[in-house]
Chains A and B, each alone.
Chain A
């Protein structure tokens, strides 16, 4: 599998803020790569450097094995933070400008193709300023797809959207991924990332905490979910057990990681000895959200 992107010790500071610390990773062709991290973790800074709009301080990166050449971006479609178009131009006119930038000769059919794909055919001649946020995001994805690039970079593509808008974008991205394109996506919505990504990288304060395939990250790990009538007492009891660590409190149940050689049966017994009767006890596969929270809270 060929390497599409190689990042080596990338470093960036904004004044005193060290936004990116020696970031190194690789993305291979065909991967759907999720960039995860809380606000200020360095996701957007990384993508902005990779897309040429922010200057790095140190380190290097290489797209398609061609180094940092500006021409690489001709083969990348990207949406960074917000959709950026001319408000007084229609979707078609905005995409025409994007096509001229991409040096496309016969752009008319390409524009109609992507506009149809993102479901904006009926509004193609309307001005961008009349669009809803969801439509603006879809137009940005249409623009990213315009030249049929090998790589798509999407930074928070579902930001500010309602549940239906989020579902629409998720389906669209999943659909694009089926075409075999490499997709790099940064998002807060871990459920969405887990549904569509094959690989993830977790960042915090500009540092790479974990990265690899989703299967590797999740690693078949399990967690134990417990509940009782008095959740406050339950929390105190769990905290008193040396080999049990509470990783999450949903308000109705607790997610607990058990030490080596310990089973849910051991936990039930230990809690019963402390006078707690569990109303629920089950083992669940860990999801990306719990792994993410564990990682960034370490």
Chain B
């Protein structure tokens, strides 16, 4: 595993688009928190401690960070498709990488990026709590959103990897990646919620629901009229099945297609 990660890192470390997109990603979530805070604090002056303090802090940070997972997805798409554009993927196979190793290298890479992203999200949550509440009380409450965010990020990046391996061209892969996200969102608008709730990207996206909406949802008796008919545990279970399916498709593609 370490050898494959070293190989991926040796390629990624000097790749300028990676650093540019990563910088955007690192800046985006804190800026959004600052932006939301600067607006909200004028309307609800005493709300900052409620929003950014724990237990809500974990979900708030995870939800806001999840908006920018698309940037990480683009890193994966650009990086993975470049391997085919520059024919370095075929050279790696020639040099002795097995098709299994090629696939695993990419999976390890998205796992590593997901872990990094989750750690960063956690640091943001802790810093926001320190700044806006002056402490870390109740830090253990709501911490389940940390592994949920990790799972969610890994899920998004798995979809990005699948499109990269299927299409093998960065322009088309990004276009299809964005089109599928939009098409699925559109699909969800026109079908009943009990069907829309099972759409793969929506399923993964709603692992981190809009903060403070749960009380509102719990207060509504007709779950068909709300966008979150599934529990987090159910989403996790179905999401796992989807991710396994995406990885399975990506694996079959690597095994069967010529390089």
Interface residues of A (CB under 8 A from B): 48, 51-55, 70-71, 73-74, 76, 78, 80, 82, 84-89, 93, 96-98, 100-103, 143
Contact = CB atoms under 8 A, between A and B. Distances in A.
A88 B10 contact: no
Contacts of B92: 101
B96 A101 contact: yes
A51 B10 contact: no
Nearest to B257: A55
Interface stretch (B35-43, B83-91, B116-124): B83-91
16 contacts: A53-B94, A53-B258, A70-B96, A76-B96, A80-B91, A85-B86, A86-B88, A88-B15, A89-B14, A93-B14, A97-B11, A98-B95, A100-B7, A101-B92, A102-B95, A102-B96
Interface residues of B, number: 24
A101 B95 contact: yes
A85 B6 contact: no
A51 B94 contact: yes
Contacts of B97: 101
Contact of B10 (A96, A102, A103): A96
Contacts of B6: 100
Contacts of B93: 51-53, 73
A73 B98 CA distance: 9
Ranked nearest first, the 5 interchain pairs of A and B with the lowest CB-CB distance are A84-B91, A84-B87, A53-B259, A70-B98, A73-B96
Interface string B91-118: 1111111110000000000000000000
A93 B88 contact: no
A53 to B, nearest CB: 4
Given A82-B87, A85-B88, A54 B258 contact: yes
B95 A55 contact: no
Interface string B2-15: 01001100110011
Contacts of B91: 80, 84-85
Given A97-B10, A100-B6, A101-B7, A86 B86 contact: yes
A93 B10 contact: yes
A78 B92 CA distance: 11
A82 B86 CA distance: 10
The winner among A54, A89, A100 for most chain B CB atoms within 10 A is: A100
A84 B90 contact: yes
Contacts of A74: 96
Contacts of A97: 7, 10-11
A103 B87 contact: no
A87 B86 contact: yes
B258 A55 contact: yes
Given A48-B258, A101-B96, 15 more contacts: A51-B94, A53-B94, A53-B259, A54-B258, A73-B93, A80-B90, A80-B94, A84-B86, A84-B88, A86-B88, A89-B14, A93-B10, A101-B95, A103-B3, A143-B95
Contacts of A54: 258-259
Interface string B231-259: 00000000000000000000000001011
Contacts of B14: 86, 88-89, 93
Nearest to A55: B258
Contacts of A93: 10, 14
A52 B94 contact: yes
Contacts of A51: 93-94
The winner among B10, B91, B97, B99 for most chain A CB atoms within 10 A is: B91
Contacts of A86: 11, 14-15, 86, 88
B5 to A, nearest CB: 10
